[in-house]
Structure 1
């Protein structure tokens, strides 16, 4: 019985540690409330037809394919899930990204997975509202070398029914564009 009593006393003494000040509570509330950056992402919700150009070698013509993407805001409008289906170099392609705006970091954050590899690509970046361009940078493991490979993605909001995605990688110390996707809202 003494142990139970002492356990209850210890528990009650630690409760004030768990409580938060009004300022801390407001910070948490602000962190979980969608804002203008989240509305920007939500403007691209829906179904999209995509024309994909991919360059394995920048001196050669692009491999061109068609794809389909579904964007939907999740988690109370804090994140956008994008599901991609298509074909890449004759192989069925599936990919998924989660992108959001981290209110605490004041940065867009993104992850990407697909069936062409077993790693997860992480990126973060900023949106330029004047140019309507979201630029993300990050890295992924190159399976051929086992080393991190720098990646830059540029998403240009053209209008409500179109946006363009470009991806750049480092090759021999130079930035090269290895992918371009033009999205058109499905009718």
Structure 2
């Protein structure tokens, strides 16, 4: 299967995310109240011929190690990005819908590792 190669295609966007990432994880347990901040490191790799991006990460909460897996995909039928993830903190599965332009730009934060 071939994918659109333009700079605006979802698959080009996923390719921009691939690599090693480092940043700060922020935890909110209730609205408007930041419960904590901690360093986070992870790697994003392209999977299934570039149709998806997989983010494996690790961090900590109150000194306890936390691990997670976050998958990005693009729903071509509904023309939107969708994500799902699981982690060792909440031990629940989550699914989110990202609206293409607005949320896509928010995902590309500072990339600190080459």
Q: How far is 1:37 from its partner?
A: 1.1
CA deviations 1:40-98 (Å, max 9, x no partner) are: 12101100111122233556555121010100111000000000111122211101011
In structure 1, the residue matched to 2:106 is 155
Q: Is the counterpart of residue 81 in structure 1 residue 8 in structure 2?
A: no
Give the match for residue 109 of structure 1: 82
Q: More helix per residue: 1 or 2? A: 1
Q: Runs of at least 4 residues of structure 1 off by over 4 A? A: 57-62
Q: In 1, distance between residues paired with 2:90 and 2:36?
A: 19
Match of 2:100 among 119, 122, 127: 127
Number of residues of Structure 1 aligned to a counterpart in Structure 2: 110
Higher relative contact order (CA 8 A, sep 6+): 2
TM-score, normalised relative to structure 1: 0.52
Larger Rg: 1
TM-score, structure 2 normalization: 0.80
Alignment-derived partner of residue 3 in structure 2: 34
Please tell me the root mean square deviation across aligned C-alpha atoms, in Å: 2.3
- Closer, same or farther in 2 for the Cα pair 1:59/1:127, shift >3 Å? closer
Structure 1, unaligned runs of 5 or more: 1-31, 136-153, 158-162, 164-182
Separation in 2 of the partners of 1:106 and 1:61?
A: 33
